[in-house]
Amino acid sequence: MNAVVSPVTDELLRQYDVSGPRYTSYPTADRFVEAFVADDYSQALQQRRSGAAALALPLSLYIHIPFCESLCYYCACNKIITKHHEKAAEYIRYLTREVELHTALIGTGQSVSQLHFGGGSPTFLSDDELRGLMAMLKRNFSFAPGGEYSIEIDPRTIDEKRLDTLAELGFNRLSFGVQDFDPAVQKAVHRVQPAEQVFSLVAAARARGFESINVDLIYGLPMQSPESFDRTLAQVVELKPDRIALYAYAHLPERFKPQRRINTVELPSGGAKISMLSRSLAAFMGAGYVYVGMDHFALPDDALAVAKRQGRLHRNFQGYSTQPDCDLIALGVSSIGRIGATYSQNAKTLEEYYDALDHGNFPVVRGLALTRDDLVRRAVIMALMCQGHVQFESIDLAYLVDFRSYFAKEMEALQALAEQGLVVLEDTGIQVTAKGWFFVRAVAMVFDRNLQTDRTRAKFSKIL
Give per-residue pLDDT as tens, 37-78. 999 999 999 998 887 555 568 999 999 999 999 999 999 888
Of 184, 177, 281, the C-alpha closest to 225 is: 184
Rounded Cα distance, 126 and 123, in Å = 7
Instruction: Outline which parts of the chain fall under CATH 3.20.20.70.
Output: 29-328
Binding-site residues for [4Fe-4S] cluster, please? 68, 72, 75
Binding-site residues, please? 62, 68, 72, 74-76, 119, 152, 179, 191, 216, 250, 336
Q: Determine the topology of domain 1-27+372-464 in CATH.
A: Arc Repressor Mutant, subunit A (1.10.10)
Of 248, 246, 235, the C-alpha closest to 298 is: 246
Stronger pLDDT, 426 or 434, i.e. the higher one: 426
pLDDT in tens, 174-216: 999 999 999 999 999 999 999 999 999 999 999 999 999 999 9
Helix, strand, or coil (residue 69): coil
C-alpha distance from residue 356 to each of 34, 183, 335, 352 (Å): 15, 43, 14, 6
Q: What is the pLDDT of residue 459?
A: 57
In the CATH scheme, what is the homologous superfamily, with its name and number, of domain 29-328?
Aldolase class I (3.20.20.70)
Instruction: Outline which parts of the chain fall under CATH 1.10.10.920.
Output: 1-27+372-464
**pTM value surpassing 0.95:** no
Q: Is the pLDDT of residue 5 over 80?
A: no
The Cα angle at residue 249 between residues 17 and 14, in degrees rounded to 5 = 15
Q: Is the pLDDT of residue 448 over 80?
A: yes
Binding-site residues for S-adenosyl-L-methionine, please? 62, 74-76, 119, 152, 179, 191, 216, 250, 336
